[in-house]
Amino acid sequence: MAARDRTGRTSDGTVDVLIVGAGPTGLALAAQLAAFDVPHRVIDRAPDRVHESRALAIQPRTLEVLAGLGVTERLVAAGNRGVRLCLHAGRRAITVPLFDLGLADTAYPYLLFLSQADTEQILVEHLTAVGVAVERRVELAALVPRDDGVRCELTGGDGTPETVTARYVVGCDGAHSTVRRLAGIPFTGGSYPQTFVLADLDADGLEPDTAHAFLSGRGILLFFPLGHPATWRLLAARPPTDPTPPDAPVALTEVQAITDAYTDGTVRLREPVWMTNFRLHHRAADRYRSGRIFLAGDAAHIHSPAGAQGMNTGIQDAVNLGWKLAHALAGVADPALLDSYETERAPIGRLVLRFTDRAFTVATSTNPVVRFARTRIAPTMLPLAMKIGRGRAYAFRTVAQLAISYRRSPLSTGGPHSPRHGPRAGDRLPDSPLVHDGRHTTVHELTAAPGWHLLLAGTGDVSPTPARGLHVHRIRDATASRRCGITNTICLIRPDGHIGYRSGVSNVSGLAAYLARWLPS
């Protein structure tokens, strides 16, 4: 066997996984592979990570899936928890709570505002600590699929060519993905007609630690509490008749004029750190896989920033794919394991695309009916809608990405005598405080270690078939079992925190068959 160094390189030029792109998606995938001791390389043609804020909100579900990798505490410590939204419609201001219902089963019941620059820095520092280095100024030039891998032609910053054979290649290289283009995967969709302005700056006249939305006939002006590198993130559409091209420089006087049109001059801008024009697109890859080549994050789907879904969806793509690649490399025979990545994640990508497109259209449309609804009906109806607890909880869970489920996946199996209530196979495992072996912890902390976790709640003397990488926990805390909906169940938790198998306690034959199919022997 060829010698391998800590970067994943071998003396014969092979690597298990080549990750192309070192944004949040690629870095999260690298961290996931490192947790499973999978040798890999991460390349990026840029000379450094981003230093602009870009994506700035981390959803509760993303914080959960990153917690098992050991980075969430640092993200939370560096970020700003946003819990309120103030809607401004003319002289009227309505403050509504964010994420105040429906999040009792997570340790992170809030939207965390943190610049993408800081998110990437924390992920890079984590990778450095576990011996993974991002290779900068390295570009993918060609891909040649083969039966046993993918031959990749790389070009270094000094023009030096390199040939490497990867057993798998993952394109995490963004909207203009080289991997997607070389794999011949179509990227279907279109562009929105408006040009938008994005700015990180300080502002006077805004209540701190609150997200602000100024509604008008021309659209919505948004301010998000950023904290660092500036106090606020501003997002606004230029007027439809504004001919400013996306690559034109932005002056503070322009942004102030746009802001005045929305706020009647009540908000004064100052000390910009970063300002840019940009266009928004809505596109999706026709498929997420071509043989041994996969797409994740913006390489697979791009959409408007409505609902802060983009970066979060990409990171969860990475977490879903990472453990499956690790298992495939460890010798899982069933090819449906890797097939399940697209089966599970492509519907989520399409759902996010539809949700963000509709929300964005409502926010920016100049149609008279939509404008009337946005400026007159929404400010009146929203306070009433916020009083409907069940609907509000559902909306919050959807935006927080806690409602994502893979019930139709081949990896989701309901065994005999499954309880009628509680989460089903494919659902995310809820969290709850837990007393386990005499110590206070949580269900998610108990199941955080890489691998599969079998929860035996009220199962008596059930003895599961041993399997490599399987952690077995007997849950005797009845309160925690009830809160999570796993009382008197056998519940097998996948490495990404979703339930793979769930049954009653009377028969373990179904569990044995499931383990034999999906876990490495």
In the predicted structure, residue 367 carries a pLDDT above the cut 70 = no
The enclosing domain of 58 has a CATH number of 3.50.50.60
Q: Are residues 418 and 502 in the same domain?
A: yes
Listed residue (367, 391, 344, 365) closest to 494, CA to CA: 344
Give the model's pLDDT for residue 464.
Answer: 66
Domain membership flag for residue 265: yes
When comparing pLDDT for 108 and 354, which is higher? 108
Q: Are residues 443 and 490 in the same domain?
A: yes
Annotate 307-320 with DSSP letters as a single string.
TS-HHHHHHHHHHH
Q: Are residues 50 and 97 in the same domain?
A: no
Q: How far apart are CA 346 and CA 355, in angstroms?
A: 14
Q: Are residues 124 and 152 in the same domain?
A: yes
Listed residue (395, 514, 469) closest to 103, CA to CA: 395
Q: How far apart are CA 495 and CA 323, in angstroms?
A: 7
In the predicted structure, residue 441 carries a pLDDT above the cut 90 = yes
Q: Are residues 262 and 292 in the same domain?
A: no
Token duo for residue 496: 């990404």
Q: Are residues 438 and 506 in the same domain?
A: yes
Reported as a single tens digit per residue, the pLDDT across 458-503 is 766 666 666 777 899 999 999 999 999 999 899 999 999 999 999 9
Reported as a single tens digit per residue, the pLDDT across 305-345 is 776 788 999 999 999 999 999 999 988 768 889 999 999 99
Q: Are residues 331 and 312 in the same domain?
A: yes
Mean pLDDT of the chain: 87
3-state class (DSSP) for residue 49: coil
Give the model's pLDDT for residue 383.
Answer: 58
- Provide the b/e sequence for 433-458 (b: ≥16 CB within 10 Å): ebebeeeeebbbbbbbebbbbbbbbb
In the predicted structure, residue 102 carries a pLDDT above the cut 80 = no
Mean per-residue pLDDT, 444-463: 85
Domain membership flag for residue 356: no
The enclosing domain of 509 has a CATH number of 3.40.30.120
Domain membership flag for residue 358: no
Residue 372: Cβ within 10 Å count: 12
Q: What is the DSSP letter of 466?
A: P
Residue-range definition of the domain harbouring residue 494: 413-518
Q: Are residues 166 and 200 in the same domain?
A: no
Using an 8 Å Cβ cutoff, are 346 and 288 in contact? yes
The enclosing domain of 232 has a CATH number of 3.30.9.10
Domain membership flag for residue 5: no
Give the model's pLDDT for residue 155.
Answer: 95
Q: Are residues 213 and 295 in the same domain?
A: no
Q: Which residue has the tokens 């394991």?
A: 337
Q: How far apart are CA 262 and CA 353, in angstroms?
A: 27
Q: Are residues 238 and 379 in the same domain?
A: yes
In the predicted structure, residue 3 carries a pLDDT above the cut 60 = no
3-state class (DSSP) for residue 347: helix
Strands 211-216 and 80-82: unpaired
Domain membership flag for residue 67: yes
pTM for the predicted model, two decimal places: 0.91
**Total of domains in the chain:** 3
Q: How far apart are CA 452 and CA 110, in angstroms?
A: 27
In the predicted structure, residue 379 carries a pLDDT above the cut 70 = no
Q: Are residues 382 and 476 in the same domain?
A: no
Cβ-proximal residues to 127 (8 Å cutoff; 6+ apart), any chain: 27, 30, 31, 34, 42, 133, 134
- Strand locations in 49-128 (E): 57-58, 80-82, 84-89, 92-97, 111-113
Q: Are residues 206 and 63 in the same domain?
A: no
Domain membership flag for residue 237: yes
Domain membership flag for residue 337: yes
229 upstream amide cis, omega within 30 of 0: yes
